[in-house]
Chains A and B, each alone.
Chain A
Amino acid sequence: MTYSTKRLLGNIGRGMILAFFLLLVILPIYWMVISSLKTNAEIINAQEVTYYPHEITGANYVQLFELYDYRRMLSNSLVVSVSTGLCITLFSIFGGYGLARYSFRGKDTMLIFFLVTQMIPLILVIIPLYVIFSKMGLINTHFGLFIFYMIANLPFCVITMRSFFERIPYTLEEAAYVDGCSKMGSLFRIVLPVMFPGIVAVFVFAFIGAWNELIAGTIFINTSNLWTVPVGLKSLIGKYDVKWGVLMAGGVGALIPTAFMFAFMQKFVVEGLTAGAVKE
């Protein structure tokens, strides 16, 4: 076999693998989208499962918004996720800077504690937090949920931000001091603009973490007008009756923001993931 036929075979093999993974990802999403566009009769037709909607309808989406107040859920999710994202970004800029630029007592221990928090099952924290929140009157408030999403995502984001800071040479800051810039001035005017990928990555992590969360939402929130998207949609799964069409429509609505965010910020997110978790 000559070199070029070998290469051709290799390319075909690679192409098949790539096609396999593409289908693997797309098919479940496709199934969800077309299910949301089917009529209820077509969805629960056990005789014939249709692979594309024979009759396209927006009824599920209309029902979702009119019967189940999806707009409310979306805006609740948005409020909680954006505030979590912004606060975490701010906290981890400071925390990451402190960890990257200074050596101080307790630093290594602190880093290990941050790492260990990533390994503790969060349900172990949720249980006592439920008691604490009910004493503080934070059950059934978005603020309680916000606090929980902060602690759940902050350690990882601080660690990620630290590795982004470490890539920026300190001389850049020194130059700013020489030119008469203050500490905060150099941080916000010189360092942060260069840090843009890190900031985007951390915001996306925090936003997605809060937007996608289900368990704490079901525990801390129990009035329907405060429900976030996953919590509200979960209430549509009854014991005997599951509204599949509406659920699928809701699922499509829930995945659109994070999917677009990811598609456009992919480069930063990938960079952040690899910077934050592992480095050999």
Chain B
Amino acid sequence: MGIVILYLVGVASLAVAGFWLIDRHIRKKGTTRRATPQLKKKWEPYMFLLPTLLLLLFMFGYPLINSFIMAFQNYKLTAPTKIHFNGLDNFRKLFGESDIWLIIRNSFTYVVVSVAGQFLLGLILALALNKRFRLRGLYQAIVFLPWSLSAFVIGLMHRWSFNGEYGVVNDMLLKLSIVNEKIAWLGTPGFSLAVVIIAMIWMGIPFFAIMILASLQSIPVNIYEASHIDGCGPLRRFFQITIPYIKPTIIVTILLRTIWIFNSFDLIVVITNGGPANYSQTLPSYMYTKAFSSYDFGLASALGVLLMAVLVVYVVLFLKTTRYNKAGNF
């Protein structure tokens, strides 16, 4: 009991110290500008934020710290009496696995192709929507619909459409004589990951389109008018007015989306479950498989720590390049 209390106090004081350090670092850089008048009451803001902070501290922060500890432990749920620290054993085991490089490559392909596809198609859709036409509201309600659908339903749709025997995709390809025989999409290395990527792109186009459209609509019209008078062609107008205006939105959306796509793996679980033989497995989905099929929480957490390290580097670069914290508004 005493150890537990000591441990909790230790964790809490570490958290407070870390918070204080980061906060001091940020405040040194000067405070941010605010649009609304700022009230200076000592306790009120903390009271307003208390429920949120408590919940996040105990159910988000505390587990997170736990998983960092687990990463250095021999932690198997099947052998609860044999939990002990084992140094870097989990990491050694992780890189000893034969498929780890395949999985890292898959993650990379999955993220890059999905983001690129969503961005390009989202941009085209947003540009096409950036002009009034009849029933635009209705059209948007339909075209943005995939945003509201669950990865489970979307995965189901694609899994069924790309079914090797009864799938509609094979049938259409046969009828258009693009292929001569049915393709086992989900059972072929390479193709199975492609199906996951297609589903991911389908799911994410609306988000990009919504973001880019909002930013397009904030471009002042008189700039276009002026460029028209000066004899600026449509191509030049696009590259020298539109793109520079929406560039900040594009950067932030792509960066946020990259992280989100990297972390999300429910489509993989539904469509291929990583198969065949890990050919469509990504790092987070592998972590899920490790944790809840073999119940080796230590190994899974080690993988998670690795993921976090990659993400932290990414986030720091992200905050630096976009000056996200200085903008004050996110």
Which residue numbers of A lie inside 8 Å of B, CB to CB? Answer: 14, 17-18, 21-22, 24-26, 28-29, 31-32, 35, 43-46, 49, 51, 91-92, 94-95, 97-112, 115-129, 131-132, 147-148, 150-151, 154-155, 158-159, 163, 166, 169-170, 183, 208, 211-215, 219, 230, 233-234, 237, 244, 247-248, 251, 254-255, 258-259, 261-263, 266-267, 269-270, 273-274, 277-280
Contacts and interface: CB of A to CB of B under 8 A. Distances in A.
B153 A251 contact: yes
Interface stretch (B93-101, B189-197, B283-291): B283-291
Contacts of B77: 131
Contacts of B23: 105-106, 108-109
Contact of B139 (A22, A119, A150): A22
Contacts of B36: 100-101, 166, 169-170
5 contacts: A17-B125, A22-B142, A25-B145, A31-B168, A214-B151
Interface in B95-128: 121, 124-125, 128
B225 interface: no
A270 B144 contact: yes
B70 A128 contact: yes
Nearest to A125: B63
7 smallest A-B Cβ distances: which pairs? A98-B48, A212-B150, A262-B148, A128-B66, A102-B45, A103-B38, A280-B248
Interface centre among A45, A103, A259, A278 (most CB of B within 10 A): A278
Interface string B142-178: 1111111111111011101101011110010000000
Nearest to B156: A251
Given A32-B160, A266-B137, A259 B63 contact: no
Given A91-B51, A266-B144, A273 B166 contact: no
Contact of A234 (B22, B171, B270): B270
Contacts of A127: 63, 67, 70, 291, 297, 300-301, 304
Nearest to B292: A219
Interface in B226-240: none
B141 interface: yes
Contacts of A248: 156, 160
B17 interface: no
A273 B51 contact: no
Contacts of A131: 66, 77, 297
B220 to A, nearest CB: 14
A94 B66 contact: no
Nearest to B40: A103
Nearest to A25: B143
Contacts of B157: 28-29, 31-32, 251
A22 B136 CA distance: 12
Given A22-B139, A262-B144, A214 B202 contact: no
In the complex, which range does the number of interface residues on chain B fall in?
35 or more
A14 to B, nearest CB: 5
A55 B304 CA distance: 50
A109 B26 contact: yes
A46 B164 CA distance: 9
Contact of A25 (B142, B151, B158, B163): B142
Nearest to B248: A280
B51 A94 contact: yes
B137 A214 contact: no
A266 to B, nearest CB: 5
B60 interface: yes
Contacts, number: 301
A277 B152 contact: no
Contacts of A123: 263, 265, 284, 287-288, 291, 304
A245 B152 CA distance: 16
B67 A128 contact: yes
A20 to B, nearest CB: 9
B140 to A, nearest CB: 6
B52 A91 contact: yes
Contacts of B160: 31-32, 35, 244, 247-248
A122 B263 contact: yes
A46 B156 contact: no
A120 B143 contact: no
Contacts of A49: 166-168, 171
B263 A121 contact: yes
B64 interface: yes
Interface in B29-49: 31-32, 34-42, 44-49
Contacts of A91: 51-52, 55
A108 B326 CA distance: 9
B86 interface: no
Contacts of B11: none
A103 B37 CA distance: 9
B243 to A, nearest CB: 14
Contacts of A101: 36, 38-39, 45
A68 to B, nearest CB: 15
Nearest to B266: A214
Interface in B306-330: 307-308, 311, 315, 319, 324-325, 327, 329-330
Given A32-B157, A103-B34, A131-B297, 5 more contacts: A28-B157, A98-B46, A101-B38, A108-B325, A118-B260
